[in-house]
Amino acid sequence: MARTEPDARILDTLTLEQKAALLSGRDFWTTKPLEEAGIPSIALCDGPHGVRREAGGSNHLGINESLPATCFPPAVAVGSSWDPEVAARIGAAIGREGRALGVAVVLGPGVNIKRSPLCGRNFEYYSEDPLLSGVLGAAHVAALQAEGPGASVKHFAANNQETERMRVSADVDERTLREIYFPAFERVLTQARPATVMCSYNRVNGVHASQNRWLLTDVLRREWGFSGVVVSDWGAVQDRVAALAAGLDLEMPGTGGASDRRIVDAVRAGELDEAVVNASVRRVVALTARHSGVSGAFDADAHHALARELAAECAVLLKNDHNALPLSPRARIAVIGEFAVRPRFQGGGSSHINATRVDAALDAIRAHAPDAVYAQGFSLDGTGDDRLLRAAAAEAAAAADVAVVFAGLGEREESEGFDRETLGLPAAQVELIRAVAAAARRTVVVLSNGGVVSLEGWHDEVDAVLEGWLLGQAGGSAIADILFGVVNPSGRLAESIPMRLQDTPSYLNFPGEAGHVRYGEGVMVGYRYYETVERPVRYPFGHGLSYTTFTVGGLTVAHTGDDTATVTVTVTNTGQRAGKHVVQVYVSTTAGPVRRPARELRAFTKVSLAPGESRTVTLPLDRRAFAYYDVPLGRWVVAPGDYTIQICENASAVVAETTIRLDGDAHVPVVSLDSTLGEWLAHPLAGPALLKVLTGGDSSRPAEDEADGLRMASSMPMGRFLTFAGIHLPEETLRELVKLGQSGDAAA
């Protein structure tokens, strides 16, 4: 789409009042125009898995009617595709629909990390892993923006729960922010350059994200080089002047002119530099270049077909005992569960799409097996007698060769605005699954849910489990394609499925109390925690079955210098069906002074292979694949030491590995009299000199009692240790020791 960039001199023609007016919305979804200056109004709309362009009155809760648009698979499903092409094709289609509907900015994607499976908005986020989230998010943004509209990557930052979301303080240490909650944003910003970044509602370490200068200016702009617009989440601004000073450009929705007046008053009172206003105005005016007006219709049928194709890439076959799947069209099939006729295909809240059409799974199954029978099984709205419905379902299952039970969560159980309280399915559905499994020869369970659900209490009684997540408007047909083997399942879990809620790493600190939520698990999020503490899960991150089989061999790792490497493996389809395999590369190390997870995903790719076909793939590992964030140094550090490169079937199953040694960063810490005795003794220059002084000249081997004493005192600050031990060093000696301790990296 051709655009005309605004004249850079336009700022000189605007009054302070006009400039202030440009920095907040005209109404709920549009910005203010300045027609006399040639600045148009632009429309923003909710995403991220479709275009929610409201037809009438405005609201942010998904209640008012919106124009018909394609509901593509939400991020919870796309994450399990492990395929940036899937994310890109969805992004491009949403871009085309946004352009057709006159939208300049589509809000999304959401790349927040799934810290707890209870988060009510997990359906809008990709994964518990920042690499997977970042790769998919970058692909979505680049493809969407290539079609014209801008993207708004969200919600920056540490927005990992709905409880008290507008005021809770996410209390997170910097290393955890840098290694877990920032990298997906950083990748999207630096690789795809989104038009806007949306700040989150919550506070981060006590400061509202909307007025957190460290987040919005120091990190976003100065470190990552972001030059686009920072927009508020709708209603997230606490103090408009403080937010503007922190780096928030556009407040949404409009406030009827109240924010404009506050900005003007602050500038005239000398409380706000007009240069700050000018910088934000330039960015907002540049964003209006995406204004295009309504460009016409989109191909709804083609997009529905695309939604069906991509949905089939996202479902995860968790279990398939006795080759219960794929189904034979000749089998007697009982379809059970109200979700088969009233599909749950998207999340609740602001991203609710008015789908152009919706495929029901029962109709799609009957297209393959016309004689399939149906039993309701349970009542979604609570009006039916679940006992009678369950008995009828068991009777239908007993007469069939295979029973396919559709179970999951409705919008009463999960939605934007509140967090879940349990991982379990509704009790009526659990009882139904068990009753059907007891009656049927074979039982297949198909799940529809935006967040992880517990499989305990019924998992071992069924033959197959297909995790369908929320698959968008064509999900019913996609499910049928997988059930009957038209499509070979290739999804892999983007989040772990725990045995119990109590096993989850955030259990003791979610959703917090007294206005604060403490991220006490640190970097040990999701599989990083389960693998490090050896806590069993029902299904690990990266798990997924196929109707064919694969082998991965020939692992070679080439150290390419500057603490980088390349990994090469050969993947072979050893089965009888075409299929796709996800190559997962993890790095495991104990190098460095910080606790590292047992392994971390550092590269992946999805490979499509015909039966008997082999392909060799090479994946790069950059420095960040081996680094940790050193908070005292304020930078990423590769510690010297051994790093094991692991090819995994999933986060729990290593199929091949090899170890390389990296020189890492030569770093000598600076020590002072406030540093501990242990830090002094570990210093390569000051340590031997100090030991020589303390042992009377022999720095090679202190006596056993001296060594024990030094070990006991190792945590004492050096200055206090000298005083406590009654050691009076000559001033010249102390000066020389301090000089050696201050040498730091210069001695490396």
Task: Report the alpha-carbon distance of residue 658 to residue 552 in Å, rounded.
Answer: 14
- Biggest CA-to-CA distance, the chain: 97
Task: Report the alpha-carbon distance of residue 172 to residue 174 in Å, rounded.
Answer: 6
Task: Report the alpha-carbon distance of residue 29 to residue 154 in Å, rounded.
Answer: 17
For the chain, give percent helix, strand, coil, nearest 5: 35, 20, 45
Q: Cα dist. 217→149, 199, 277, 296, 572 in Å? A: 24, 12, 14, 38, 48
Task: Report the alpha-carbon distance of residue 244 to residue 229 in Å, rounded.
Answer: 12
Task: Report the alpha-carbon distance of residue 694 to residue 692 in Å, rounded.
Answer: 6
Inter-axis angle of helices 731-741 and 686-694, to 10 degrees? 150
Structure tokens that stand for 329 in this block: 């069209």
Task: Report the alpha-carbon distance of residue 598 to residue 621 in Å, rounded.
Answer: 18
Give me the half-sphere count of Cα atoms (radius 13 Å) on the Cβ side of residue 336: 35
Give me the half-sphere count of Cα atoms (radius 13 Å) on the Cβ side of residue 136: 35
Known catalytic membership, residue 129: no
Secondary structure (DSSP) of 645-686: EEEEEETTEEEEEEEEEE----------TTSBHHHHHHSTTH
Give me the half-sphere count of Cα atoms (radius 13 Å) on the Cβ side of residue 743: 16
Contact between 588 and 598 under an 8 Å Cβ cutoff? The reply is: yes
Inter-axis angle of helices 475-483 and 361-368, to 10 degrees? 40
Q: Burial code of 612-641, b = ≥16 C-beta within 10 A, e = fewer?
A: eeeeebebebebbbbbbbbeeeeeebbbee
Task: Report the alpha-carbon distance of residue 499 to residue 525 in Å, rounded.
Answer: 16
Task: Report the alpha-carbon distance of residue 194 to residue 217 in Å, rounded.
Answer: 16
Q: Cα dist. 483→311, 450, 574, 651 in Å? A: 13, 20, 21, 26
Structure tokens that stand for 533 in this block: 């503490």
Q: How far is CA 184 from the centre of its chain?
A: 7
Contacts of residue 319, Cβ cutoff 8 Å, sequence gap at least 6: 459, 462, 463, 464, 465, 545
Q: Is 230 helix (H, G, I), strand (E, B) or coil?
A: strand
Inter-axis angle of helices 386-398 and 427-439, to 10 degrees? 30
The active-site residue, picked from 233, 260, 419, 481, is 233
Catalytic residue numbers read 233
